[in-house]
């Protein structure tokens, strides 16, 4: 937790990077549920970034800094099986930051999986970077993978938290 409000309430900082309105709405609803579960000891503070905003070279460094200061980053996608190059650049710059506290990456998606052993390339990409950067990755959506089973990456099979 990154900060305190008065002496009893702690901030829980969240950054949302979202593909479109629908994905952003799903992420906002998740934050509302999280805030209600955290109770009055925590105040959630969020910073929202539509993919196109991240792609603006004048704003990307601000988006990287916001994510670097966050306790949780939510990546919300609807149809994207691959991230746009500028979002990958933002993600990789954020992942390179050294964090004193644990950080979570939550991926909310609508991707579907045809076969049990198929792995969306987006998931493989994010897992690879998360493991390398010691970021806790949580993958939520409509895929049909076996809970807890990870997709193969360049470093082999990774256990999902």
Give the model confidence (pLDDT) of 112-136 as tens digits: 654 444 567 888 899 999 998 999 9
- pLDDT of the residue at 111: 67
The stretch 80-100 carries a mean pLDDT of: 90
User: Quick check: 6 pLDDT over 70?
Assistant: no
User: What total of structural domains would you count in the chain?
Assistant: 1
User: Quick check: 4 pLDDT over 70?
Assistant: no
Is 17:51 a contact under the CB 8 Å cutoff?
yes
The stretch 85-111 carries a mean pLDDT of: 89
> How many C-beta atoms surround the C-beta of residue 19 within 10 A?
22
CATH number at residue 133: 3.40.50.360
By residue range, what is the domain housing residue 28?
Answer: 3-157
pLDDT tens sequence across 131-148:
989 999 998 875 444 444
Pairing of strands 42-50, 72-76: unpaired
The stretch 86-113 carries a mean pLDDT of: 87
DSSP H helical ranges for 39-143: 51-54, 57-68, 85-96, 121-133
């Amino acid at each position: 937790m990154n900060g305190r409000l008065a002496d009893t309430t702690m901030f829980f900082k969240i950054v949302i990077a979202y593909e479109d309105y629908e994905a952003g709405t799903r992420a906002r609803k998740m934050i509302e549920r999280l805030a209600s579960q955290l109770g009055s000891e925590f105040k959630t503070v969020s910073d929202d970034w539509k993919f196109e905003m991240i792609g603006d070279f004048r704003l990307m460094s601000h988006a990287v800094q916001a994510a670097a200061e966050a306790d949780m980053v939510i990546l919300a996608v609807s149809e994207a099986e691959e991230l746009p190059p500028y979002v990958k650049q933002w993600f990789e710059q954020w992942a390179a930051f050294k964090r004193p506290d644990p950080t979570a990456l939550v991926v909310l998606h609508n991707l579907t999986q045809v076969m049990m052993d198929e792995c969306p390339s987006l998931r493989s990409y994010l897992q690879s970077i998360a493991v390398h950067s010691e970021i806790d990755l949580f993958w939520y959506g409509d895929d049909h993978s076996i809970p807890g089973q990870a997709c193969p990456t360049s470093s082999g099979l990774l256990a999902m938290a």
